[in-house]
Structure formats: structure tokens, C-alpha cells
Amino acid sequence: CAQLGEQCSKTVFQRCCGNYVCDLKTAFQGVCVKCYPLEHGCMTDEECCSGRCHVFQCKPQF
């Protein structure tokens, strides 16, 4: 698995280690980051720095 700052593809072959998430820049090419900033696309709350993913975007907590 890829460490923080290393290249990733968001696939089982080139995924990020631990709680890091893959910030894709193009299809299957990205970099492992700690979490996604506000308004970044997301699938789960855990991917967002704010801890809230709503309608596939990281949103601030209430």
C-alpha cells in the first residue's frame, strides 16, 4: 500500500495505507492524503477532514 504523499490509483492494486485517502487528479492517478478538504468529492464521512460527506461532497459540521 502507498504511504502519505505517495502515488495511488484508488484500486486494490495501488491503494493508500491505513486511514489515508487517494486524492485522484486524473483517472487512476492520484496522491495519498490524510483527508479531503471542504467541497471535495467523497463517498464516506471518514474521507473528509470535517468528518461529514453529504451528497458526495465534504461539508462543514453543523
Mean pLDDT, to the nearest integer, of 31-47? 98
pLDDT for residue 35: 99
Average pLDDT estimate for 21-37: 97
In the chain, % of residues over pLDDT 70: 100
Tell me if the pTM is above 0.75: yes
pLDDT score at 62: 78
For residue 59, what are the CA distances in angstroms to 14, 24, 25, 47, 49? 27, 19, 20, 11, 9
pLDDT at residue 23 in the model: 97
